[in-house]
Chains A and B, each alone.
Chain A
Amino acid sequence: MDKLGSKTVIGAGATFTGKIANARVIEVHGKVNADLTAEKVTIGEAGHFNGAIHADLVVVSGHYEGKMQAGSVWATATASISGKLHYETLQMDRGAALNCHIVHNWTAKNHNPAQSDNDDADQLLPAASDKAKNGAVPTTPEEGA
């Protein structure tokens, strides 16, 4: 009967404010202010999402602000993320803008924000500098050379 499947879409131009429950697959092309738990969340290029996301897979092509806890995160070239990002695997395309606190290896079971935040932040430092090398013109970090 259903050619639309079970995918919920917030269309371009639409604005939703409130609570969302029982979501499985949701696509956001409009503006959403909500807290969301889902299996898969897609934020389209024109999409704005404001609020917490708790999901297995999050694909961000638009703007996200809030606290995201996800198994896999894919930030495409047009993505812009601010807030907090807890992830297990992260893919970031060249051009993606991440202005957020990033914590690796988040899992729902053993997550303990009070302890893990600082440890994981330290581990992230080498990875962050790797990204800088790959993304920018190679320069030596020495000063006054």
Chain B
Amino acid sequence: MSAKPYEQMTSLHEDTTYILGDLIMEGSLEGGDHPVVIDGQFNGDITAIDVIIREQGKVTGTLHAQTAVINGHFNGNLVCESLNVSATGIVEGEVQANALSIDLGAEVIGSISRINAKSK
């Protein structure tokens, strides 16, 4: 139910997309089958399976993912199956998630809803 272990997702791999350091990217990013790790600044649309926004990472825009881990700052529309906002995470905007965990200390400002209400 919860997101994959952090270490597993951040292990060095050529296929993983890293946006690190002082980098500023603007546009649209499709991660393909592999994780996307953001430690820089990204403005725009991200579509990927696994997305991690690390402590220094800042994303503004829309994010579509299977699992998302927010340790940094996210502002915008977030749609994902499973979302974890860690203690250092800040999420502002509209969140749609089916499995949601918010750690103590996290800031979540905005609306939260399910992607599609399951039939009971």
| A complexed with B | yes
- Which residue of A19, A24, A30 contacts B21 across the interface (Cβ within 8 Å)? A24
Q: Please state if B22 and A14 are interface contacts (CB–CB under 8 Å).
A: no
In the assembled complex, A112 has its CB within 8 A of some CB on chain B: no
Contact with B along A8-27 (1 / 0, CB 8 A): 11111111111111111010
Q: Please state if A22 and B34 are interface contacts (CB–CB under 8 Å).
A: no
Smallest CB separation, A1 vs chain B (Å):
9
Give Cα A102–Cα B20 distance, bound, in whole angstroms.
Answer: 32
Q: Please state if B30 and A14 are interface contacts (CB–CB under 8 Å).
A: yes
Chain A residues within 8 Å of B14, by CB:
9, 11-12, 29, 44
Residues of B within 8 A of A (CB): 10, 12-37, 39-40, 44, 48
Residues of A within 8 A of B (CB): 2-24, 26, 29-30, 34, 44
- A sample of 18 inter-chain contacts (CB < 8 A) reads A4-B10, A6-B21, A8-B20, A9-B14, A9-B16, A10-B17, A13-B34, A14-B31, A14-B34, A14-B48, A16-B28, A17-B27, A19-B25, A21-B25, A22-B22, A23-B23, A29-B14, A30-B17
